[in-house]
Structure 1
Amino acid sequence: MEARMELHRAHLLLVLFISQFPGTAPFPAQDPPKLVNGIFGGSVLFPLNIPPQKRVVEIEWKFSPKVGMPLLIAEFVNGELKRPNEGDRFGHRLEMADETTLRIKGLELEDTGVMDVRVRFATSAILEHSFNLAVHEPVPMPQISHRLISYTADECNMTLQCQTLGKGGLRLSWKMGNPLRVLEGALGWHRLTDTGNELHLSWRPTTSNSTITCLVDNPVDLKNTSVDLFNVCQDADEYGCFSWVRTTMFVGLGLQITIIVLVNILERKDWNQCCAGVDAGIANMAPVGTNKPTKTFYRAHKRSP
């Protein structure tokens, strides 16, 4: 029993002694896949974080797209980046950021996939890394539209709607003030719809916070746009006043046109009646030279001796 314990102690001392020399310690198991987010047209890095005392002999990068077969896209041997097939989808978009970090430039949406990296050391040990690359589109600028529900001097009720033309994967949120902060106060003055893109407000003009901001983001980009509630409610008040003036003008103009039309109709009616009386009088007058008694007298006068 004592001999076995002495042998075990000697083995531990030997392992401890060997581990003091560079390149001889065992490497940790493969790390879980690391998420790398990139923006369309931008660039991403695949860092390996290898200790400087470890001498690297060769690095291989294998890319697996979402659709298609895995492809060996690059090798780093003797300090030089080699491309097994320069005619693949990455073309001239690959370069080394340092001796162990690969960079992809000019990202495309189809670059989304899994990047597997195998590192071979001078000790013949092998270390593997895996990266999940996700390429996102830039976030489009959102737009805020408003719909006024009611307005008084004390309270302005409205609905704000935030719209964006982006595809899925976008997150939308509302904030207030400057600098931006989450919506505060009693829940009675603001309410979000289930989709989150509509915000119902019961805002009091006497409050100091009048700026509401809509933020749209994805893992790599963020855009926002703001609206001033004071201006929205003020415009609504001015629009209401303008609408009343405009309505009054239209009613007055309509009355004037109606009066003019009625006067023209009455004048035309009187004129027609006058003309009808004149025509009747002319019709009752006998034509000159056609009187029958005169003609008879002429004939009787001619026959007398």
Structure 2
Amino acid sequence: MSKAPVGRCPQVPQVGAVALTCGQHPEGVRAALPGSVPNKTVKKIEWSFSVGAGATIQVAEFGPGGFKRPDPKDQFKDQLEMFNKTALKIRALEHGDSGVYGAWIKLYPAVVENQSFNLSVYRLVPVPGIQHQLLSLTIQGCKVTLWCWVPAGSDAEAVWQLSSSPRMPWGQFCEDSQTLCLAVPASTFNSSYTCMARNPIQKKNTSIRLDTLWTPDWWRWHMCLGLLAMGVGALLSIIWLRRKKRRKKAAKGGGRCWVKAMSSQPGFILSMPAPGGLCPHPTSHGGTRLCPSSDCPHFVPKQHSWSSRTGPTEPP
């Protein structure tokens, strides 16, 4: 038994050959069954058809009386015709025409030969589809599940064409060869994955980019939130650094504050550090108290200086 190379229509065999040639279905289904008995005179040919363990039926007969159809009301109806006197042609192939075709060939003077052909008819491969489920999406990355699928009854297999996709360090097959589970960093959001539908004679594919799985408004909102968070963080850092700098300056003052004292020279006031690292500080009762220099409201970390009574009284 020979198997038809499905998807190709070879040239019609020469006179004296026995073969099935192919017609073309309106949807494009094609098949061919080669075979021959060259350089021999054919007296009669009977064609039969069977599927699996089902009954074998005679579908055509070539002989001195021409082309005959034993049962014109069978499944082939007007699909069959004789071509080049010895070849059986099937027009408008349908998916149900798949099966085993047998040829009982009677040659002159009294030789009989049998040939059989396994015909497989495939539907056109549809364009595959990709479905997705977005599990999470942040500025750092996303988690998403992708499904590669074809319509039921299409006789095609759906698979991920990973050879044309980027390597998958962030994903794996989670259920079967049609399902991808991905955990992708934001730096690779522009990567694409390809889903392929195929059968023995045809293949089609479609691709999807990860950054097309969410709406621009959603992504823009999250980018704004991220920028706002970064701005608040930067502002808090600046405030903390300024406070730290002030504390450092206060510590470098050595616990000194400046008080005013009358100078022995007329017309001058002496500004000098308070003894013991304490500063006089007025109270609510009209008196004064000594407080640490770091708490003194008039803390001025400078050296001795003289000032005129009539000029500024604070240390230069």
Q: Tell me the TM-score normalised to structure 2 length.
A: 0.53
Contact 1:48 1:100 in 2 (8 A): no
Name 2:44's counterpart in structure 1.
Answer: 58
The 1:188/1:210 distance shift into structure 2, 3 A limit, reads closer
Distance in 2, matches of 1:66 and 1:236, equals 52
Partner amino acid, structure 2, of 1:214 = C
Q: Which residue of 2 aligns with 1:127?
A: 113
Structure 2 CA distance, aligned partners of 1:190 and 1:173?
A: 15
Q: Which has the higher contact order (CA 8 A, sep 6+)?
A: 1
Deviations 1:168-188 (A, max 9, x none): 853221125xxxx35453x53
Q: In the alignment, residue 105 of structure 1 is paired with which amino acid?
A: R
Tell me: CA distance 1:127–1:162, structure 2 relative to 1, closer, same or farther (3 Å). Answer: same
User: Which residue does 1:251 correspond to in 2?
Assistant: none
Q: Tell me the alpha carbon deviations over residues 152-211 of structure 1, each in whole angstroms, 9 at most, x when there is no partner.
A: 5564432111233213853221125xxxx35453x5333113422211234456569733
| Distance (whole Å) between structure 2 residues aligned to residue 49 and residue 194 of structure 1 | 48
1:65-106, Cα deviation, whole Å (9 max, x unpaired):
457532111122259432223222211101234444322223
2:236 counterpart residue number: none
Q: Please state if 1:216 is matched with 2:197.
A: yes
Residue pair 1:45, 1:102 contacting (<8 A) in 2 also: no
Alignment of 1:231 onto 2:212: yes
Residue 128 to residue 182, structure 1, CA distance change in 2 (3 Å): farther
Does the residue aligned with 2:208 lie in a helix, a strand or coil?
strand
**Deviation of 1:242 (Å):** 4.4
Q: CA deviation at 1:212?
A: 1.7
Q: Identify, as 1 or 2, the structure richer in helix.
A: 1
The Cα offsets for residues 27-66 of structure 1, whole Å up to 9 and x where unpaired, read as xxxxx34256589763533322333x23322222111245
* AA at the equivalent of 2:105: V
Cα distance change of structure 1 residues 61 and 145 upon mapping to structure 2, 3 Å threshold: same
Identity among equivalent pairs (%): 32
- 111-120 or 152-161, larger mean C-alpha shift: 152-161
5 Å-filtered alignment, 1:77-226, equals 77-78=63-64, 80-152=66-138, 155-167=141-153, 169-175=155-161, 181-183=163-165, 185=167, 187-203=168-184, 206=187, 210-226=191-207
Find the counterpart in structure 1 of residue 33 from structure 2: 46
Residues of 1 paired with 2:82 and 2:32: CA distance? 9
Report the 3-state secondary structure (helix = DSSP H, G, I; strand = E; otherwise coil) of the residue aligned with 1:114: strand
Q: What are the ranges of 5 or more consecutive residues in structure 1 without an aligned counterpart?
A: 1-31, 246-305
TM-score (norm 1): 0.55
Q: Are the structure 2 counterparts of residues 209 and 55 from structure 1 closer, same or farther at C-alpha, using a change threshold of 3 Å?
A: farther
Contact kept? 1:65, 1:111, Cα under 8 Å: no
Measure, in 2, the Cα distance between the counterparts of 1:133 and 1:205: 51
**After the TM superposition, which residues 232-247 of structure 1 pair with which residues of structure 2 at under 5 Å, given as runs?**
232=213, 235=214, 238-242=217-221
Q: Secondary structure at the match of 1:110?
A: helix
Instruction: After superposing the two structures, state which structure 1 stretch, 156-165 or 85-94, moved more.
Output: 156-165
1:118 touches 1:127 (CA, 8 Å); kept in 2? Answer: yes
Q: How many residues align?
A: 207
1:206-259: CA deviation from partner (whole Å, max 9, x where unpaired): 569733221122334434322122333xx35641444899xxxxxxxxxxxxxx
Match of 2:58 among 56, 72, 92: 72
Structure 1 residues 151 and 73: alpha-carbon distance in aligned structure 2, compared to 1, 3 A threshold: same
